Amino acid sequence: MAAIFTIHGFCARALREHALESGQGFDPPELLGNDRALREALAADLWRAHAVDAAAADDLAALWKEGPVALAADLRAL
């Protein structure tokens, strides 16, 4: 007999039965009430990664004159 699950039920069962193989912790994920700090950290990382040479840095500065803070504000739309 085959078990029938919704996608949510299947995923919950797979994580419950194979939690260690999936690399996921046993605690439920934390929900963020505000993602502003996360977007700012992501924007700073993106800025550092893509501004490795002068041309790329100039392109970033032309698009976001206020720097990574402006990029962070645009991330949701991007």
Q: Is residue 50 one of the residues assigned to a domain?
A: yes
pTM attached to this predicted model: 0.57
Q: Is residue 2 one of the residues assigned to a domain?
A: no
**Cβ burial 47-58 (10 Å sphere, 16+ → b, else e):** beeebeeeeeee
> Which residues constitute the domain of residue 34?
7-74
Q: Is residue 46 one of the residues assigned to a domain?
A: yes
* Structural domain total, the chain: 1
Q: Residue 59 in contact with residue 53, Cβ under 8 Å?
A: no
Q: Residue 49 in contact with residue 78, Cβ under 8 Å?
A: no
Q: Is residue 1 one of the residues assigned to a domain?
A: no
Q: From first to last of its 78 residues, what are the pLDDT tens digits of the chain? A: 677 778 988 888 887 887 777 676 667 777 888 889 999 999 999 999 988 888 888 999 999 999 999 999 999 888
How many angstroms separate the CA atoms of 61 and 54, rounded? 10
